[in-house]
Structure 1
Amino acid sequence: MNVGASRPFRSPKAILFDLDGTLVDSAPDIAAAVNELLAGRDLPPLRVDQVKAMIGGGVGKLVERAFAASGSPLLGSALEEANRVMAPIYRRHLTGLTRLMPGVREVLTHFHLSGMALGVATNKPQLATREILLHFHLTEYLGAIVGGDAVTFLKPAPDALLLALDQLGVEPTETWMVGDSSSDVGAARAAGMPVVLLRGGYTQVPVEELGADLVCDSLLDLPSAMQRLRAVA
């Protein structure tokens, strides 16, 4: 556990979680969707690690990055058409290869039983987010589920976080954001929330360099880290 020096921690009443790279490892499914889209244009497939580096910023940004990486960048109406083609492909690749990140069920159960309000704020589309959470039987823990198309601006804008907080009925200063990328840090900072980052997610920059208040090896470390922070508060 590494603690940043940007602000003191307060004991939270709620926790918001990112989805991809935080609660689920969805990169294999996302890569399958990307490669189906590229195959339709007779373009070669990308490796899972290549696609993993493109995740973040929503599906539209993913499509743009995938065609650029394939050597056939798209702009304007061509990119819009590729996004329309991608929409049903993406929905077909949500749970076949996706797996829970380590400790997810145990940690959500722990916080839920302790009375903590929990929510998800992600750039993934709302219906896709809900389908994944339903597939893994996680919705019972969550009082708010906000996807990227439920708000005007994606993370790193604070819109998704603020909508989730409104649904949970809590204030930003009473809530921790838990994610894995610079978008999560930016959104949390813009919302006025402390932010925790997990190693092993989808960021290409070391998490220690992203300015989080706390860095944990996995979700399994979060309950004990919270107890230690409470003890020194």
Structure 2
Amino acid sequence: MSIRALIFDLDGTLVDSLPDLAEAVNDLMAANGLAPHATRAVASMVGKGVPVLVQKAFAAHGVIVAGEVLDAHVKTYLGFYEPRATRLTRLFPHAADMVKELAKSYRLAVCTNKPAAVSREIVDSLGIGAEIAVVVGGDSGVTPKPAPDMLWLVAERLGLPKEDVLMVGDSANDVASAKAAGIKVAVVRYGYTDIPADELKADFVMDDFRGLPAVLEKLQ
């Protein structure tokens, strides 16, 4: 195996977007007469795309939303979130330096269940847009993570076989997607998952992005 590209999850892996996500969720709750959620509670709702995030936010108040009602709430949520998506969001420590260093030798991509346009806006605003060759979002037209389809689509757009790609994530969703896709996966310990990283059954576990060179060395 010779790794030629890395695919990063976005929220909880590459960027700490929780403050912006939580504010948008709580604006949606307020618009519907519901109490706000604690920021950390919102973290457990993130990772399976905007519709699931919205469903979980309402479900935590005992409100079930689906169908056209869910679609309307998703539209409202995005109206709150997208204008502020880069206001408080920051790269996690060591991510910027490692991304810039890795880009000298590897192709880099982002695979996230959030919409592609706002995801591209985030990486561009944080100064790593030039290093990220491909961004695939939950609106890409294929089944989102934890299905393997998005990772296969990223590999296709990179022009590489899946065997040449490493996935870097933070959650059970990322691990399940990578394993279903036949792609090696490393996870960070600081992400938004409620399950400890060491229990996610990833191929590699790292404290932070500084662990990536050692992981890549093992895969060469």
TM-score of Structure 1 vs Structure 2, range by shorter chain: over 0.9
Letter in 2 for 1:173: E
Instruction: Map 1:57-206; keep pairs closer than 5 Å.
Output: 57-113=48-104, 115-206=105-196
Rounded to whole Å, the distance in 2 between the matches of 1:186 and 1:151 is 19
Rounded to whole Å, the distance in 2 between the matches of 1:182 and 1:128 is 23
Q: Considering Cα pairs closer than 8 Å and 6+ residues apart, tell me whether 1 or 2 has the greater RCO.
A: 1
Cα contact 2:189–2:206 (8 A) shared by 1: yes
Cα contact 2:42–2:57 (8 A) shared by 1: yes
Cα contact 1:102–1:220 (8 A) shared by 2: no
Give 3-state SS (helix, strand or coil) of 1:56's partner: coil
1:122-156: CA deviation from partner (whole Å, max 9, x where unpaired): 10101110110111121111221111101321101
Rounded to whole Å, the distance in 2 between the matches of 1:134 and 1:225 is 26
Q: Offset at 1:189?
A: 1.2
Who is 1:213 aligned against? 203
Q: Offset at 1:86?
A: 1.5
Letter in 1 for 2:63: S
Who is 1:26 aligned against? 17
Give 3-state SS (helix, strand or coil) of 1:139's partner: coil
> How many residues align structurally?
220
Q: Offset at 1:11?
A: 3.3
Q: Offset at 1:117?
A: 1.1
Cα contact 1:36–1:89 (8 A) shared by 2: yes
Rounded to whole Å, the distance in 1 between the matches of 2:72 and 2:173 is 26
Rounded to whole Å, the distance in 2 between the matches of 1:14 and 1:52 is 28
Cα contact 2:114–2:138 (8 A) shared by 1: yes
What percentage of residue pairs aligned between the two structures are identical?
Answer: 41
Who is 1:3 aligned against? none
Consecutive unaligned residues in structure 2, runs of 5 or more: none
Rounded to whole Å, the distance in 1 between the matches of 2:32 and 2:157 is 42
Consecutive unaligned residues in structure 1, runs of 5 or more: 1-9
**RMSD between aligned alpha carbons?**
1.3
Instruction: Map 1:28-43; keep pairs closer than 5 Å.
Output: 28-43=19-34
Give 3-state SS (helix, strand or coil) of 2:108's partner: strand
Who is 1:47 aligned against? 38
Cα contact 1:53–1:202 (8 A) shared by 2: yes
- Runs of at least 4 residues off by over 6 Å: none
* TM-score (structure 1 length as normaliser): 0.90
Rounded to whole Å, the distance in 2 between the matches of 1:226 and 1:116 is 11
Q: Offset at 1:99?
A: 1.1
Give 3-state SS (helix, strand or coil) of 1:149's partner: coil
For the pair shown, which has the larger CA radius of gyration, 1 or 2?
A: 1
* TM-score (structure 2 length as normaliser): 0.95
Give 3-state SS (helix, strand or coil) of 1:134's partner: helix
Cα contact 1:151–1:159 (8 A) shared by 2: no
Cα contact 1:200–1:218 (8 A) shared by 2: yes
Q: Offset at 1:82?
A: 1.3
Letter in 1 for 2:6: I
Q: Offset at 1:187?
A: 1.1
Letter in 1 for 2:193: T
